[in-house]
């Protein structure tokens, strides 16, 4: 019995899968099956063979696997048999259907004779109907004559009852019906008013005089709507009442209503409004809130009908309403309107524009509104880029801001850089999505503006990155668009502002420029190309120009960071050399504390660049060497010669020391000249070493401005030797050579300015250095 139940269930599953009935309901979600997989999942649509096999191997031994193999082979054979039976059954059904069609064809053959019999009967009925019409013709003519007489009697009765009817209309304030009744009776009064219907005419005129007075009062009433006033004027005109004196008064009412109209309300998707279609427009108007502009337009229409010569004044009113519409839209754009609200607002405005154009085509409101829409939409695009620019600036300004105690709170530079990157990428992506919402709006106005708006977006991105570069220049404390003549003035201003702008901000800006040049531009270009491609001509986004701008900006900002840090450390070095009296300096006993301060500043630089910049990797900077041409402002000293000569200076003979220095200078003329100051790379090692080189070069220049005794010279020698030892471990081979050269240059400069350039003995020098290192 169980075997038969399994067979029935399997057959039912086969039928279900074959006819694809409720497959979505019977199949379990894939993620659920993968989480709660069992051996029973082989009969489900989400069956995973690899997962089933792994589960079977885990739960069964070898004998179980062999047994399962035999069972599955039998099941496969049974399934093949069942499928074959299904094919045979469907084949029998197809044969049965074919036989049924043949029988239907045979049954239709006899219907042609029946149709011919039906046609004969219809012709017989038609002939009898014609006979009946002929026999009743005279009676029909008599009935029609009586009907015309009855209508004439009704008209006469209407004339006699007209005064009473007009009185009822006055009571119900149905002035439109009263005017319609009276104007309908006017032809009869003109023909028979002086004879048969004289009394009726006189009574009707008395009642109509009352109606005319009430209509005049209605036109003058402030409590009545403009539409009601316009209807009253229309009725007066139908009564041949002189309404020209009401023209200026009604126009003033229109102007007053337009002035009091509030168009600054927020437009959403709620409310209802009728749609207006213009000949070439097929806009489906969405739900927008009810604003009484339709009442105003209908009043203008009535005014135009009443006063056809008032077209010029009405055109001004229409254009003024359109201008106010777009002014309200521009005010919301300045307050950062969402794309959905902008779409609703444009659809709302364009509905009124189409309505006004339908009422007064001579005003050309569509063209006028299209020009105003161009201005509003272009401002929306520009405003969106401006807001994104402000967001990026605000993110950068968070790097260093004051907390509640008035102290500056430091933010991690790496986090600030990532936040700025995310703001830029997410902001540009959101901009494109917002623009896409507006562009996808099925509105006649947007269809006309689509190509122009895409061009504005392309131009907006180009302008955005240009303005972003200028904004980064300002944030880094630099002037924008400085020419060659003003370069010196800018550098002076940069020195004055150097302390005001945090160096970490400049470093973040530098790496942000690199990110824009290497990654951001590619993403923006790809997204623009996929969703906002220009089908025709027009301005297109030029990524090459932006990359070039930010490549140069990245190098410029990085160099500015190096200069700012160098200036800060150079002030320390200058203070170190200008404070003591070097001519009376005491014998050196330890490394001076300024060296520790110098190393602390370098450590702060290292911590900053470690957050932002990557390691140098395989990009090793080579210091070029060229043969000296005899003019050396800065060359490597002959250390070996200097050391050898210095070992013989124990005689403290000043003339002998100066002769040794002269020999050193002559030897430098024939040495190779090293290019110390190479281009700064965006790596930790390059930035730190560039700052070290510039500081040592500045220190050398400060040394040349002082005069040293022997102890002062030895102090400088000791400090440089300690720097040589501590900085050696943090440099590669090429940088180490440059560092050695600059340290030697400082010592040589001190020797040149020394009254007795006798160096410390190597043993004493090493002992003092080791003592400092041990501390």
Question: What confidence tier does 488 reach under pLDDT thresholds 50, 70, 90?
Answer: very low
Give the pLDDT score at 401.
Answer: 57
Give the pLDDT score at 201.
Answer: 78
Helix axes 413-439, 593-612, angle to 10 degrees: 30
Element housing 5 (H / E) = helix 2-19
What percentage of the chain reaches a pLDDT higher than 70?
76
Question: What confidence tier does 485 reach under pLDDT thresholds 50, 70, 90?
Answer: very low
Angle at 449 between CA 444 and CA 451, to 5 degrees: 125
Would you say the C-alpha torsion 223, 228, 233, 236 has a positive or negative sign?
A: negative
| Mean pLDDT of the region 427-440 | 88
| Mean pLDDT of the region 649-677 | 51
Tell me the helices (H) and strands (E) count for the chain, helix number first.
28, 4
Give the pLDDT score at 652.
Answer: 43
pLDDT(678) > 50? yes
Backbone angles phi, psi at 586, to 5 degrees: -80, 165
pLDDT(20) > 70? no
Neighbouring residues of 588: CB distance < 8 A, sequence distance ≥ 6? 711, 714, 715, 718, 760, 768
Distance of CA 562 to the CA centre of its chain: 35
Give the pLDDT score at 591.
Answer: 87
Instruction: Give the residue among 664, 580, 678 at the shortest CA–CA distance from 625.
Output: 678
**Spatial separation of the C-alpha atoms in residues 28 and 47, rounded to whole Å:** 10
| Mean pLDDT of the region 490-518 | 73
Question: What confidence tier does 548 reach under pLDDT thresholds 50, 70, 90?
Answer: very high
Please provide the average confidence, as pLDDT, over all residues in the chain: 76
User: Are the C-beta atoms of 341 and 387 separated by less than 8 Å?
Assistant: no
Backbone angles phi, psi at 5, to 5 degrees: -65, -40
Q: Which burial class, exposed, middle or buried, applies to 673 when counting CB atoms under 10 A from its CB (0-12, 13-18, 19+)? A: buried
Give the pLDDT score at 415.
Answer: 86
User: Are the C-beta atoms of 512 and 421 separated by less than 8 Å?
Assistant: yes
Give the pLDDT score at 397.
Answer: 82
Instruction: Give the residue among 246, 254, 279 at the shortest CA–CA distance from 357.
Output: 279
Question: What confidence tier does 539 reach under pLDDT thresholds 50, 70, 90?
Answer: low
**Most confidently predicted of 173-177, 230-234, 486-490, 705-709:** 705-709
pLDDT tens across 442-455, in order?
A: 888 888 888 888 88
Give the pLDDT score at 222.
Answer: 59
pLDDT(645) > 50? no
| Mean pLDDT of the region 295-313 | 76
**Most confidently predicted of 24-38, 161-175, 524-538:** 161-175
pLDDT(325) > 70? yes
What percentage of the chain reaches a pLDDT higher than 90?
5
Neighbouring residues of 658: CB distance < 8 A, sequence distance ≥ 6? 757
pLDDT(245) > 70? no
Element housing 608 (H / E) = helix 593-612
DSSP 317-379: HHHHHHHHHHHHHHHHHHT---HHHHHHHHHHHHHHHHHHHHH-GGG-HHHHHHHHHHHHHHH
Question: What confidence tier does 647 reach under pLDDT thresholds 50, 70, 90?
Answer: very low
pLDDT tens across 405-421, in order?
A: 444 445 588 888 898 89
Of the candidate ranges 370-379, 516-525, 608-617, the one whose mean pLDDT is the lowest: 608-617
**Most confidently predicted of 180-184, 298-302, 514-518:** 514-518
pLDDT tens across 104-133, in order?
A: 877 776 677 778 888 888 988 888 888 888
**Spatial separation of the C-alpha atoms in residues 208 and 175, rounded to whole Å:** 10
**Spatial separation of the C-alpha atoms in residues 722 and 733, rounded to whole Å:** 18
pLDDT(543) > 50? yes
Give the pLDDT score at 659.
Answer: 57
**Spatial separation of the C-alpha atoms in residues 523 and 546, rounded to whole Å:** 13
Question: The whole model's pTM is what?
Answer: 0.61
**Spatial separation of the C-alpha atoms in residues 290 and 268, rounded to whole Å:** 11
Q: Quick check: helix, strand or coil at residue 705?
A: coil
pLDDT tens across 75-114, in order?
A: 888 988 888 888 887 888 888 888 888 888 777 766 777 7
Backbone angles phi, psi at 318, to 5 degrees: -60, -45
Give the pLDDT score at 175.
Answer: 82
Question: What confidence tier does 153 reach under pLDDT thresholds 50, 70, 90?
Answer: confident
pLDDT tens across 247-288, in order?
A: 777 777 777 777 777 776 665 544 434 443 443 343 433 444
Backbone angles phi, psi at 68, to 5 degrees: -65, -35
| Mean pLDDT of the region 614-622 | 50
Query: What's the alpha-carbon Rg for the chain, to the nearest Å?
Result: 49
pLDDT(756) > 60? yes
Question: What confidence tier does 329 reach under pLDDT thresholds 50, 70, 90?
Answer: confident
Give the pLDDT score at 621.
Answer: 43
Cα dihedral: 427, 428, 432, 433 (round 10)? -30
Give the pLDDT score at 656.
Answer: 54
User: Are the C-beta atoms of 732 and 627 separated by less than 8 Å?
Assistant: no
Question: What confidence tier does 422 reach under pLDDT thresholds 50, 70, 90?
Answer: very high
Angle at 550 between CA 546 and CA 553, to 5 degrees: 145
Higher pLDDT, 467 or 251: 467
pLDDT(731) > 60? yes
pLDDT tens across 202-242, in order?
A: 888 888 888 888 887 777 675 777 677 778 878 877 877 77
């Amino acid at each position: 019995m169980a075997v038969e139940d399994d067979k029935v269930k399997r057959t039912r599953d086969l039928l279900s899968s074959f006819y694809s009935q409720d497959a979505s309901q019977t199949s379990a979600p894939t993620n659920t099956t993968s989480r709660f997989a069992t051996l029973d999942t082989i009969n489900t649509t989400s069956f995973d063979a690899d997962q089933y096999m792994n589960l079977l191997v885990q739960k069964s031994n070898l004998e179980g696997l062999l047994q399962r193999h035999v069972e599955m082979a039998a099941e496969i054979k049974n399934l093949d048999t069942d499928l074959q039976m299904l094919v045979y059954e469907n084949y029998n059904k197809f044969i049965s259907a074919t036989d049924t069609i043949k029988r239907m064809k045979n049954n239709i053959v006899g219907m042609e004779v029946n149709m011919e019999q039906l046609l004969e009967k219809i012709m017989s009925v038609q002939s009898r109907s014609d006979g009946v019409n002929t026999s009743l013709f005279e009676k029909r003519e008599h009935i029609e004559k009586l009907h015309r007489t009855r209508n004439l009697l009704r008209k006469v009765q209407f004339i006699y009852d007209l005064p009473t009817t007009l009185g009822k209309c006055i009571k119900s304030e149905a002035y439109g019906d009263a005017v319609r009744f009276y104007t309908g009776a006017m032809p009869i009064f003109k023909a028979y008013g002086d004879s048969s219907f004289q009394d009726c005419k006189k009574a009707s005129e008395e009642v109509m005089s009352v109606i005319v007075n009430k209509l005049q009062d209605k036109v003058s009433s402030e409590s009545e709507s403009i539409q009601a006033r316009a209807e009253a004027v229309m009725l007066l005109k139908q009564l041949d009442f002189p309404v020209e004196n009401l023209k200026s008064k009604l126009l003033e009412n229109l102007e007053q209503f337009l002035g009091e109209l509030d168009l600054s309300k927020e437009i959403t998707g709620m409310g209802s409004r009728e749609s207006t279609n213009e000949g070439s427009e097929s806009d489906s108007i969405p739900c927008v809130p009810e604003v009484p502009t339709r009442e105003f337009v209908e009043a203008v229409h009535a005014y135009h009908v009443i006063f056809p010569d008032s077209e010029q004044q009405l055109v001004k009113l229409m254009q003024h309403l359109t201008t106010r519409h777009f002014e309200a839209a521009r005010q919301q754009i300045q307050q950062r309107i969402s794309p959905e609200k902008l779409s609703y607002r444009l659809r709302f405005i364009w509905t009124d524009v189409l309505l006004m154009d339908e009422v007064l085509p001579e005003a050309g409101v569509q063209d006028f509104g299209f020009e105003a829409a161009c201005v509003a939409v272009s401002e929306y695009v520009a405003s969106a880029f401006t807001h994104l620019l402000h967001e990026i600036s605000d993110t950068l300004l968070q790097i260093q801001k004051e907390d509640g105690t008035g102290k500056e709170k430091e933010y991690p530079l790496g986090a600030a850089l990532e936040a700025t990157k995310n703001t830029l990428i997410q902001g540009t992506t959101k901009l494109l999505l917002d623009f896409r919402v507006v562009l996808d709006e099925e509105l006649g106005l947007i269809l006309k503006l689509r190509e122009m708006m895409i061009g504005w977006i392309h131009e907006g991105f180009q302008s955005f990155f240009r303005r972003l570069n200028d904004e980064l220049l300002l944030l880094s404390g630099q002037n924008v668009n400085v020419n060659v003549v003003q370069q010196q003035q800018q550098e002076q201003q940069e020195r004055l502002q150097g302390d005001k702008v945090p160096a970490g901000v400049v470093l973040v800006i530098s790496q942000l420029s690199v990110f824009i040049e290497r990654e951001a531009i590619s993403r923006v270009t790809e997204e623009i190309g996929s969703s906002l491609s220009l089908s025709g001509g027009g301005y297109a986004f030029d990524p090459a120009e932006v990359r070039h701008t930010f490549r140069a900006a990245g190098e410029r900002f990085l160099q500015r960071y190096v200069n700012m840090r160098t200036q800060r450390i150079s002030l320390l070095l200058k203070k170190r050399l200008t404070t003591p009296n070097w001519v009376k300096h005491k014998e050196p006993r330890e490394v001076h504390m300024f060296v520790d301060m110098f190393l602390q500043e370098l450590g702060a630089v290292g911590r900053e660049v470690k957050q932002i910049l990557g390691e140098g990797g395989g990009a090793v900077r080579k210091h070029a060497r060229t043969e000296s041409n005899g003019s050396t402002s800065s060359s490597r000293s002959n250390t070996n010669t200097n050391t050898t000569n210095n070992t013989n200076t124990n005689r403290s003979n000043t003339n002998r020391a100066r002769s040794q220095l002269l020999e050193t200078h002559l030897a430098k003329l024939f040495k190779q000249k090293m290019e110390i100051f190479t281009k700064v790379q965006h790596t930790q090692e390059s930035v730190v070493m560039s700052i070290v080189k510039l500081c040592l070069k500045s220190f050398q220049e400060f040394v040349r401005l002082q005069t040293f005794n022997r102890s002062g010279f030895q102090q400088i020698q000791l400090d440089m030797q300690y720097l040589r030892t501590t900085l050696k471990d943090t440099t590669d081979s090429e940088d180490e050579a440059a560092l050695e050269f600059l340290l030697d240059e400082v010592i040589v400069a001190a020797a040149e300015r020394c009254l007795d350039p006798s160096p410390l003995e190597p043993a004493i020098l090493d002992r003092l250095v080791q003592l400092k290192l041990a501390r």
